[in-house]
Amino acid sequence: MSAMPAFLDGTRPDVPDIVVPRGITPFYLPGRPVRGRLVRLGALADALLSRHDNHPIVTSLSGQALALAAALAAALKFQGSFSLQAKGDGAVTMLLADCTQDGALRGYARADADKLAAVLEKTETPTAATLLGRGYLAFTVDQGDDMDRHQGIVAIEGRTLADMALHYFDTSEQLQCAVRLACAKTDTGWRASALILERVAAEGGIDLSEEPDGDEAWRAATILASTVTDEELLDDDLPSEQLIWRLFSAEGVAADRPRALAYGCRCSRSRLAGILEGFGAEDLDDMATQGDIVMTCEFCNLDFRFGRDEVGGAGVTD
């Protein structure tokens, strides 16, 4: 324990210092109403996912959520964090991933062991729909206490997490998209990837999607994107630019400047102490075991230990 007051102590246990310099590669098809992003987490996926002792099927879903959150955050202009949250009544009761404007990525999945065992008795490869059950999918941009949060929520619809994201775009954003997600454990550890296409208006106010060949250009791009395999998406030895060229060279493609992704859990003793200060004294007494309160960060799965005398509790007076 630190001698510094808990609410001032910003220290935390060691976590992986991992940066993937080319984690996100934006691209576009010149003269066509198509832009996209290829996200490949590389070793960052294993660092984030292996901190939780989840069943592989749950870990795979969590990795897809991380890749999707990074891909969607990269399309926005904001200061703060973008989060994806799915909450349902299935075996996976909570799925959460968030990414900051600088590419700091974190996430976790929470599963009900009994429900998961029941699902796996019926099938070894349950879909995201089966794992999540009935519930909602929310996308949130949080730019801090001084700014309004922007949030969109839809009911969980679709077989896969990619389907669920498309349902959100269809109903809430009226945006045509194509989404491909992949996550699996490879010979080098967990890997996760996302490929997203968007149909957009051209610069200068000219909407290419209204041109006679706009529909055909979009259709061709989505057909080409659908040919990518999970193996290609998760292959560390296949550079992102080469994969993009392999997929779209027939239509003409140009890559923009890549963006970095990094291990991004933001927990600290001061943050968790602030949470504890919101509890009453009796609640804190109940949390204490042998004089200590242990809080576990759900994102990085690290324990923080506080002496009961380090935190006072709401409503406590001298």
Main-chain phi, psi angles of 175, to 5 degrees: -120, 125
In terms of domains, do 240 and 128 share one? yes
* Cα dist from 54 to 37, 110, 115, 135, whole Å: 28, 8, 14, 21
For 191-235, what is each residue's pLDDT tens digit? 999 999 999 875 544 444 445 478 899 999 999 999 999 999 999
* Cα dist from 37 to 126, 208, 311, whole Å: 27, 19, 45
Number of domains in the chain: 2
Most confident region among 147-156, 185-194, 248-257, 283-292 by mean pLDDT: 185-194
In terms of domains, do 229 and 304 share one? no
CA-wise closest residue to 158 among 167, 149, 150, 147: 167
In terms of domains, do 252 and 298 share one? no
> What are the residues whose beta carbons fall under 8 Å from the beta carbon of 57, sequence distance 6 or more?
120, 124, 125, 126, 131
Q: What's the domain range around 274?
A: 268-310
Specify the CATH number for the domain of residue 23. 3.55.30.10
> What predicted TM-score, i.e. pTM, was given to this entire model?
0.85
For 93-102, what is each residue's pLDDT tens digit? 999 999 999 9
One-letter identity of residue 75: A
> Is residue 44 within 8 Å of residue 23, measured between CB atoms?
yes
> Is residue 269 within 8 Å of residue 9, measured between CB atoms?
yes
Specify the CATH number for the domain of residue 287. 3.90.1280.10
> Is residue 48 within 8 Å of residue 107, measured between CB atoms?
yes
Q: Is residue 13 part of a domain?
A: no
